[in-house]
Amino acid sequence: MNGTHSAVVTLTLARVVNVMATDDTLSVDLEDGRTVSVPIGWYPRLAHGTPAERANFQISGAGYGIHWPDLDEDIGIEGLLLGKKSTESPSSFERWLQRRKQTQA
């Protein structure tokens, strides 16, 4: 065979069945038995949330996403599996922090 071999990688997504966020880690249990864990610092809004706010999540996107209404945060399974951190800009996060401080005062 001549030429370069190529491989096609297909990412198989499994649906979320449970979520746990501690002060250090975001762990997501998937329907296929995997658990994906990442540092909570990858998602600054989660890192700045209270335990109660982090515990208040909704499985969204037909099971392929997670939404935290109190923190206005959304994370997709594909991003977690690919190791993608939050892409929120520092200025956007700073505005969110300022609004948060005003509502908590």
Dump pLDDT digits (tens) for 69-79. Answer: 999 999 999 99
Number of domains in the chain: 1
Q: Is residue 60 part of a domain?
A: yes
Minimal CA–CA distance to 37: which of 20, 54, 50? 20
The predicted-structure confidence for 16-72, as pLDDT tens digits, reads as follows 999 999 999 999 999 999 999 999 999 999 999 999 999 999 999 999 999 999 999
What does the alpha-carbon distance between residue 75 and residue 42 come to, in Å, rounded to a whole number? Answer: 11
Q: Is 19 helix (H, G, I), strand (E, B) or coil?
A: strand
Q: How many helices (H) and strands (E) in the chain?
A: 4, 6
Instruction: Confirm whether 2 is domain-assigned.
Output: no
pTM of the entire predicted model: 0.85
Q: What is the CATH number of the domain that holds 70?
A: 3.30.2020.40
Q: Does 53 map to a domain? A: yes
